[in-house]
Chain A
């Protein structure tokens, strides 16, 4: 059942990305291009997508509260609290890549369905970057390595 639930959730998420147009990198870049505000070409659609998603998710999470999940025993609710250097430098690097192409992980995966060669190359590079972090030698990162390596320990 959790597998079916995940499939449905992925499908609904993907439909949201398709309907909103966020799978087109140039539409995302149209929002990120603030020079478009004075010139009148700015596209605020991404802000509307986020506002609508936050309204629904915020209300839904608030209603759910701390209720246990219906189909699983284990909860993967994020537990990290610190605003540390990893969070800040990771967000910075992600933002640089996102601004360069206009693709973040969700739209990249949805766009794989088009079999577009640059999207395939982007997704392979993205996976390589993820594995480079997740599988990097323990020695390089010191004592916090164990807590960071688990893919389930992430915020999202």
Chain B
């Protein structure tokens, strides 16, 4: 477990939880990123301003960190753009069909003890674990 970073993980997780509680307290909204982003890019949406503000805040976080001297490392992604596109399409379509992602179901949903979110989180976790096992070990990677 050489890569385990429990302290920064706990601090970061607490900040994510705090954000979800603040958004709920102030606007009674669920901090589900897939829903917020999908509503922002959907031409039929009418409440775009708060969505744009939330997404803007997300993007501003690493820029603020960089100003404080903590440069965000470049994301390491698969070499094949075909894989990247397939992954992106699956994440986008799946989160809309399933009404949420890691934040909306995995954190906000489980925190309010929603059976739907608990089941959804179990399903996407298991699916991801199986995909990683297959792509990294069975088929090489």
Contact B1 A80 (CB under 8 A): no
Please report the C-alpha to C-alpha distance between residue A2 and residue B107 in the assembled complex, in whole angstroms: 22
User: In whole Å, how far is B105's beta carbon from the nearest beta carbon of chain A?
Assistant: 5
Given A48-B6, A152-B47, A154-B32, decide whether A126 and B91 contact each other with a Cβ distance below 8 A: yes
Contact A95 B127 (CB under 8 A): yes
Q: Which of B115-137 contact A (CB under 8 A)?
A: 115-117, 119-121, 123-133, 135-137
Q: B residues within 8 A CB of A32?
A: 125, 128-129, 131-132
Please report the C-alpha to C-alpha distance between residue A60 and residue B18 in the assembled complex, in whole angstroms: 8
From B26, B60, B111, A14 is in contact (CB under 8 Å) with B60
From A11, A13, A50, A149, B44 is in contact (CB under 8 Å) with A149
**Which among A35, A58, A110 has the greatest number of chain B C-beta atoms within 10 A?**
A110
Contact A6 B111 (CB under 8 A): no
Where chain B touches its partner, the secondary structure class is helix
Q: A residues within 8 A CB of B130?
A: 99
Contact A104 B102 (CB under 8 A): yes
Q: Mark B61-79, 1 if CB is under 8 A from A, else 0.
A: 1111100001011111110
Please report the C-alpha to C-alpha distance between residue A112 and residue B36 in the assembled complex, in whole angstroms: 16
Given A56-B14, A90-B96, decide whether A106 and B103 contact each other with a Cβ distance below 8 A: yes
From A52, A77, A87, A135, B28 is in contact (CB under 8 Å) with A77
Given A5-B23, A18-B72, A35-B137, decide whether A109 and B38 contact each other with a Cβ distance below 8 A: no
A: which residues have CB within 8 A of B? 2-27, 29-30, 32-35, 40-46, 48-58, 60-61, 64, 67-72, 74-78, 80-83, 86-101, 103-106, 108-114, 116, 118-119, 121-135, 149, 151-156
Cross-chain pairs A/B with CB under 8 angstroms, 16 sampled: A5-B22, A7-B53, A11-B58, A21-B8, A32-B128, A52-B13, A69-B26, A80-B116, A86-B97, A86-B99, A94-B101, A125-B87, A149-B44, A154-B34, A154-B96, A155-B105
B: which residues have CB within 8 A of A? 1-6, 8-35, 37-39, 41-45, 47, 49-51, 53-65, 70, 72-78, 81, 83-117, 119-121, 123-133, 135-137
